[in-house]
Amino acid sequence: MELSCLQENLSKGLSIVGRAVPSRTTMPILRNVLLATDHGQLKLAATNLELGIVHWVGARVETDGAVTIPARNFIDLVNSLPAEQIALVVDEESQTLRLTCGSVKASFRGIDAEEFPVIPEPQDGAEMAVEAGDLRQALSQVTFAASGDESHKVLTGVLAEFEGQTLTLASADGFRLSVREIPLLHPIPQPLSVIIPARAMAELARIIGTQEEPVEISTTQPHNQVLFKLQDTVLNTQLIDGKYPDYRRIIPQEHTITVVVGRAELLQACKRAEIFARDATNIVKLAIGDGELTVEADSAEMGRGSTRLEANVEGPELEIAFNVRFLIDVLSAINTPQVVLELTTPTNPGVIKGVGDESFLHVVMPMHLGR
């Protein structure tokens, strides 16, 4: 293998795939990054066996080849190089990569690329596609609600349901549920439902960044992996095997109280209340009265604080308590100027939506003060 590329491109590419390099692993090869020539480009790849990232860098390829190199050292070196041409040459016999950049020369002992896990690549003619902006926003509205509890693996994932013209993403952690629908750019004939690790989805959101081109989504046979194809990057993720709970049953069908309030104001009030709710429980009280909503936190140790907001209230008065972190999470993820809270009693779940946005819905369970 022999090629040259620009330092900026290589550095950027490595920073993208580097996020898939596991910090701890029982398989030493995973600490390496794969470098391979591919149709006149340099392909970089890394995987932690849950999520893999492939990124293509423009390069002038002299001879084809592949090698894997310890990722951390290689990335650190490339980042330290001047913004010039980098020449990479691999000695196939010794699996050694030699790098030249200006006056800098370095060599790395690599491991045979054959030993690297096979990283799937998307087939041409992707089955599904969505707007990048939609997906980016949907991910920000859904991934935060996934559980971190590894003993209930399915809940650590995001449920992705492809059906007809719609992709529905849902996640829940036992106390709250986020559901977001986004349109598919072309309808699909066969519905498909998979559970994708939330960690991979968070990584995907990061990689999408400001890209505006549609994201193509495909699966490998037999639905072991999902691939998200971006401009120069493909993210693949293993799926979580299991049956996702029927989240539709959890969404309340009725409510007696509707509160419409400014999103930013409510978010601000919650953040203020959090100062007083910073013990282990994060409990805040929402008092809903005539034309107003009061957010109140009361801590034995720190004192109390409350904010009264004007609100459009329909229905009887109510006091209900929530984990303020949960409220802040969802309010930060909504982007309409006003939000609507749909409530019933202090023990019934609350529903939060953006006013005028039917695509997103969040269910959050209340807290109770015992005795």
Partner 1 sequence: MTIRLLPEDVAARIAAGEVVERPASVVKELVENSLDAGATRLEIETRTGGQSLIRVRDNGQGIPQAEVTLAFRRHATSKLETAQDLERIRTLGFRGEALASIASVSRVTCTTRYTEESVGTRLRLEGGKVVSRQSLGWPQGTELRIEDLFYNVPARRKFLRAARTERKHIDAFITRYAIAYPQIAFSVMHDGRQMLLTAGRGDVREALLAVYGTDLGNSLLEIPAVFAEPELPIQVRGYVGPTTVHRANRGYITLFVNGRWIQDLRLTYAVIQAYHTLLPVKRYPVAFVIITLPPEEVDVNVHPAKTEVRFHNGDDVFRAVQRAVRGTVIAEAPAAATWQAPPPTAQQVVHQRLAALRPASPQAPLPEIAPADRPRPSQPHTAPAFEAAPPSESVPPQARARRLPPLRVVGQVSTMFIVAEGPDGLYLIDQHAAHERILYEQMVSAWRQGDIPSQALLEPVVVTLPADDAARLEPLLPALQTLGMLVEPFGGASFLVRSLPAHWRDADPQMLLADLAANTETQAPSPVRLELEEMIVRRICKRLAVKGGQVLSREEMDRLVRDLEQTENPRTCPHGRPTIIQISLEQLAHQFGR
Partner 2 sequence: MTGWPILGHQLAVRQLQQAVSQDNVPHALLITGPENVGKMTLAHTLAQAMLCTADEDRPCGVCRACRKVAAGHHPDLLVISPEGPRGKLKIEAIRAAEQFLALTPHESRHKLVLVEHFEQATIGAANALLKTLEEPPGYAHLVLLAGDSESLLPTIVSRTNQIALRPLPVPLVEQALQSRRHVPAAEAERLARISGGRIGWAVRAVDEPEHLQQMEAAIAQWLALMSSDLPEQFAALKTLSRSDTDLRQMLAYWLIGWRDVLLLKTQAEAPLTLQEHRPALEQLAERVTIRQITALIERIGAAQALLQRNVNAQLLLETLLLAHQQTR
Nearer to partner 1, 135 or 318 (CB): 318
The H or E element that residue 134 is part of is helix 132-142
The site map against partner 1 for 257-296 (x = CB under 8 A) is ----------------------xxxxx-------------
Q: Please, which residues bridge with residue 163 across strands? A: 166
| Contact flag: residue 366 with partner 1 (CB under 8 A) | yes
| Contact flag: residue 156 with partner 1 (CB under 8 A) | no
What does 238 bind: partner 2, partner 1, none (CB cut-off 5 to 8 Å by kind)? Answer: partner 2
Q: Given the rule CB under 8 A, which residues bind partner 2?
A: 27-29, 49-50, 114-115, 117-118, 150-151, 153, 197, 222-225, 238-242
What does 149 bind: partner 2, partner 1, none (CB cut-off 5 to 8 Å by kind)? Answer: partner 1
Contact 162, 191 (CB under 8 A): yes
| Contact flag: residue 303 with partner 1 (CB under 8 A) | no
Please identify which residue in 323, 328, 338, 360 interacts with partner 1, judged by CB under 8 A: 323
| Contact flag: residue 302 with partner 1 (CB under 8 A) | no
Residue 205 burial class via C-beta count within 10 angstroms: exposed 0-12, middle 13-18, buried 19 and up: middle
Q: How far is the CB of 21 from partner 2 (least distance, A)?
A: 15
Please identify which residue in 190, 243, 356, 371 interacts with partner 1, judged by CB under 8 A: 371
Q: Which span (64-72, 146-154, 257-265, 351-359) binds partner 1, by CB under 8 A?
A: 146-154
Q: Is 139 left (phi over 0), alpha (psi -120 to 50) or beta?
A: alpha
What are the residues whose beta carbons fall under 8 Å from the beta carbon of 304, sequence distance 6 or more?
Answer: 276, 296, 297, 298
Please identify which residue in 13, 65, 349, 354 interacts with partner 1, judged by CB under 8 A: 349
Amino acid at 369: L
Q: Tell me the three state secondary structure of residue 21.
A: coil
Question: What is the C-alpha to C-alpha distance for residues 100 and 108, in angstroms, rounded to an integer?
Answer: 12
Please identify which residue in 177, 208, 288, 324 interacts with partner 1, judged by CB under 8 A: 177
Contact 142, 171 (CB under 8 A): yes
What does 366 bind: partner 1, partner 2, none (CB cut-off 5 to 8 Å by kind)? Answer: partner 1
Nearer to partner 2, 12 or 153 (CB): 153
Separation in Å, CA 73 to CA 7, 33, 76, 263: 15, 10, 5, 46
What are the residues whose beta carbons fall under 8 Å from the beta carbon of 248, sequence distance 6 or more?
Answer: none
Structure tokens of 44?
């970089």
Please identify which residue in 192, 250, 309, 355 interacts with partner 1, judged by CB under 8 A: 250
Query: Any idea how long the chain is?
Result: 371
Please identify which residue in 106, 111, 321, 355 interacts with partner 1, judged by CB under 8 A: 321
What are the residues whose beta carbons fall under 8 Å from the beta carbon of 114, sequence distance 6 or more?
Answer: none
The H or E element that residue 93 is part of is none
Question: What is the C-alpha to C-alpha distance for residues 145 and 125, in angstroms, rounded to an integer?
Answer: 33
Contact 89, 61 (CB under 8 A): no
Nearer to partner 1, 223 or 368 (CB): 368
The H or E element that residue 94 is part of is none
| Contact flag: residue 187 with partner 1 (CB under 8 A) | no
What does 263 bind: partner 2, partner 1, none (CB cut-off 5 to 8 Å by kind)? Answer: none
Nearer to partner 2, 33 or 273 (CB): 33
Nearer to partner 2, 50 or 181 (CB): 50
What does 29 bind: partner 1, partner 2, none (CB cut-off 5 to 8 Å by kind)? Answer: partner 2
Q: Which residue has the tokens 């089955």?
A: 127
Residues that bind partner 1 (CB under 8 A): 148-149, 151-152, 172, 174-177, 245, 250, 279-283, 300, 321, 323, 347, 349, 363, 365-371
